[in-house]
Amino acid sequence: MSVGHTGIRGAVLVLNAGSSSLKYQLVHPDTEVVSAEGLCERIGDLGSSITHEQNGTEVTEQIELPDHKTAFERVVALFAEGGIDLATAGLRAVGHRVVHGGRTFFMPTLVTEHVMSEIDRISTLAPLHNPANLIGMRAAGELLPDVPAVVVFDTAFFHGLPDAASTYAIDRGVATLHAIRRYGFHGTSHEYVSAKAAEFLGRPPTELNQIVLHLGNGASASAIRGGQPIDTSMGMTPLQGLVMGTRSGDIDPAVVIHLHRVAKLSAEQIDTLLNKQSGLKGLCGESDFRSVTQLIEQGDASAKLAYDVYVHRLRQYIGAYMLDLGRLDAIVFTAGVGENAAGLRADALAGLENFGIVIDPDRNAVRSKDPRRISADGGTVDVLVVPTNEELAIARQSAAVVAEA
Ligand code: AMP
């Protein structure tokens, strides 16, 4: 990463608090300049650490971080040591990424006590994530009380999914009572990337039908018609859909019952199995896509199977979304795997010439941080790689909310 140290006035501090981590970036929503960024890891655990980059210098310190508040206090101190007093720097906002907005939140929202208690109420839908997000909010509120705080929800972009796509075919009463429906996640990324793709193609988003493939440690696909999502692969939680680093994605729900009834696993154990020990990791022992690729090169049959299952699932979603959309203008790859794994991109779209989808091998091999087209001339579908930037998107949305307040 490369960060500078200019134009802090009006910047937004973007916070993404996980259950044991705190990721942050100080970015200016207008100039896009990143002044500093970092990551606190293993909060509340042994071996916690902070990596902080500011003024072009990266420091990593092993430091005891018993909770998020201590972590944020140390982050504020690291900023100060680098010459930025966050409390007086003229920040426009602190922008918090919140995973689950439930049925309540679908717009970026100013943080108030009421908003925090609502996010807390929704925590049953995201028991690992929303409580951590709240802790981050409280820590930032205490240390930077004069900076407006905004929450941006990962589910928001998918709020308007058509009922046919968002409804699970289970008892309506049970579903309604327990808020069980498909919410979709990675919304900030799907929204940002689809808008960038339209900009790159020089066409209004309202005219474009796109499939966006966000392939990182978590992975999701979406079908976007005229700027509005009409389907997405994640569901009530981020467990559904594509094969991921450690998450299973789609399985027969009866597997869960079987694991409980026959394998005698508890709900907690099944949760851990499907969220933390499945996906690529469950199939071949490695969750990192690069490690899986390395194992395949060494002839590892489990890694090859993991890759094949990953590609098979991905192609099924691409096929389904092509049909959903009717007419397809663009397929867009993003996130760690999507932006970097040229071989995966080629395999995901192999043999689709009859559908107007043809990847150009030379363009696909180019490595770049910029949006680019990797399809051959003459196909009817533009295949693009568009790097995602969730922090910038959160900073912009936060700044907009503060401007309107
Ligand atoms: P993200 O969650 O977006 O940070 O993506 C993380 C995933 O991207 C991990 O599985 C990485 O192995 C994968 N990734 C990052 N760089 C590369 C690369 N050069 N080639 C293949 N996969 C990569």
Q: What CATH number should be reported for the domain holding residue 262?
A: 3.30.420.40
Measure 287 CA to ligand 1 centroid, in angstroms: 10
Measure 320 CA to ligand 1 centroid, in angstroms: 25
* 55 labeled binding residue: no
Residues 30, 141: one domain? yes
Query: What average pLDDT does range 122-143 have in this prediction?
Result: 89
Query: What average pLDDT does range 48-68 have in this prediction?
Result: 93
**Is residue 198, in this structure, part of any structural domain at all?**
no
Among 93, 122, 153, where does a domain finish? 153
Ligand 1 and 272: CB distance under 6 A: no
Reported as type and span, the H/E element at residue 384 is: strand 382-385
Instruction: Say if CB 73 and CB 84 are below 8 A apart.
Output: no
Q: Which two tokens stand for residue 304?
A: 């090859």
Residues 140, 237: one domain? no
Pairing of strands 372-373, 382-385: antiparallel
**Is residue 172, in this structure, part of any structural domain at all?**
no
Q: Which two tokens stand for residue 182?
A: 């498909």
Residues 123, 211: one domain? no
Query: What average pLDDT does range 175-192 have in this prediction?
Result: 96
- In angstroms, the CA 144 to CA 324 distance is 46
Ligand 1 and 238: CB distance under 6 A: no
Residues 120, 208: one domain? no
**Is residue 396, in this structure, part of any structural domain at all?**
no
Residues 272, 385: one domain? yes
Instruction: For residue range 244-287, list pLDDT tens digits in order.
Output: 999 999 999 999 999 999 999 999 999 999 999 999 999 999 99
Name the pLDDT band for 6 (thresholds 50, 70, 90): low
Tell which residue, 93, 49, 4, has the closest CA to residue 391.
93
Residues 365, 262: one domain? yes
Residues 121, 217: one domain? no
Query: What average pLDDT does range 71-88 have in this prediction?
Result: 94
**Is residue 261, in this structure, part of any structural domain at all?**
yes
Residues 338, 231: one domain? yes
**Is residue 47, in this structure, part of any structural domain at all?**
yes
Query: Looking at the annotation, which residues are catalytic?
Result: 154
**Is residue 254, in this structure, part of any structural domain at all?**
yes
Measure 286 CA to ligand 1 centroid, in angstroms: 12
pTM: 0.94
**Is residue 197, in this structure, part of any structural domain at all?**
no
Instruction: For residue range 7-53, list pLDDT tens digits in order.
Output: 789 999 999 988 889 999 999 999 999 999 999 999 988 899 999 99
Mutate to test the pocket of ligand 1, among 293, 337, 345 (most ligand atoms within 8 A of CB): 337
Residue 29 DSSP class:
T
User: Percent of the chain, pLDDT > 90?
Assistant: 90
Instruction: Say if CB 317 and CB 233 are below 8 A apart.
Output: yes
**Is residue 79, in this structure, part of any structural domain at all?**
yes
Residue 1, pLDDT score: 41
Residues 215, 330: one domain? yes
Query: What average pLDDT does range 88-113 have in this prediction?
Result: 94
Instruction: Say if CB 63 and CB 120 are below 8 A apart.
Output: no
- In angstroms, the CA 26 to CA 217 distance is 23
Instruction: Say if CB 393 and CB 27 are below 8 A apart.
Output: no
Residues 148, 208: one domain? no
Q: Is 360 in a helix, a strand, or coil?
A: coil
Residues 35, 137: one domain? yes
Res. 290: pLDDT tops 60: yes
Tell me how many domains the chain contains.
2
Res. 5: pLDDT tops 50: no
- Give the domain extent around 296: 203-390
Q: Which amino acid is at 3?
A: V
Residues 212, 350: one domain? yes
